[in-house]
Amino acid sequence: MTMTIFSALGFSSLGYLSGSLPFSIWITRLFKGVDVRDSGSGHATTTNTIRQAGFGPGALVLILDLAKGFLPTWLALRYAPAIWIIPLTTACVVIGHCWPVFAQFRGGMGLACAGGSLLVISPLSFLIAAAVLIVLVLILRHPARASVFTGIVTAPALWLFGLRGIGFWIAVAAGIIIALRFLIDWNRQYRGELWLDREKHQ
């Protein structure tokens, strides 16, 4: 029991620190000399990196954000003594991405690193989440909103497809954090204009 608790603390810490690596901030600063959070959506995300630094840097950020979810989850899957530590690790990765200790606790939305965690457990689950994201982007025509709703509806989508194992619980854990991130951000910045594009008012 004690070993399980220490393992949970260790994997949680690893997940949080991995999630806290602010690749979009570092890469946008490297290529453009600006903080990605100072314009556009105001978030440290792939789409905001593309908006400010171009597709190449944005693609690099996407790969690195997927990797920072993939690696801690892979390690937890192989070495954690209890299965519940795996979704806990993913939740901490997403928390780190949203509130990174290495970037003044101002990060992104957490979808890419959650996708990296899903990829470890089930490539099919990852593809379903990606398909949900694409559909929502086409419908909403707003990547940030589409990302939030993808985080929320991925777990129900996996359930409907009969994918109810650890990947489902990873989607649940990540979805809760992503929804919380959106609600906190809305209360702080979007009150009274929930569906307006902030970019249009910059």
> 60 lies in which domain range?
2-201
pLDDT at residue number 189: 46
What proportion of the chain, given as a percentage, has pLDDT over 90?
73
- pLDDT for residue 31: 93
Q: What is the CA radius of gyration of the chain?
A: 16
Cα pseudo-dihedral 73, 37, 146, 186, rounded to 10: 100
Number of domains comprising the chain? 1
pTM assigned to the model = 0.88
Residue 144: count of CB within 10 angstroms of its CB:
24
pLDDT digits (tens, 9 = 90+) for 9-54: 999 999 999 999 999 999 999 999 999 988 877 889 898 899 889 9
What's the pLDDT band for 134 if we cut at 50, 70, 90? very high
pLDDT for residue 198 is more than 80: no
Give the pLDDT confidence of 93-120 residue by residue, as tens digits. 999 999 999 999 999 989 999 999 999 9
Identify whether the C-beta of residue 56 lies closer than 8 Å to the C-beta of residue 80: no
Of 171 and 183, more confident? 171
Give the helix ranges, DSSP H, for the chain.
Answer: 2-19, 23-32, 46-53, 55-79, 85-98, 111-121, 123-140, 143-160, 166-185
Q: How does residue 195 score in pLDDT terms, banded at 50, 70 and 90?
A: very low
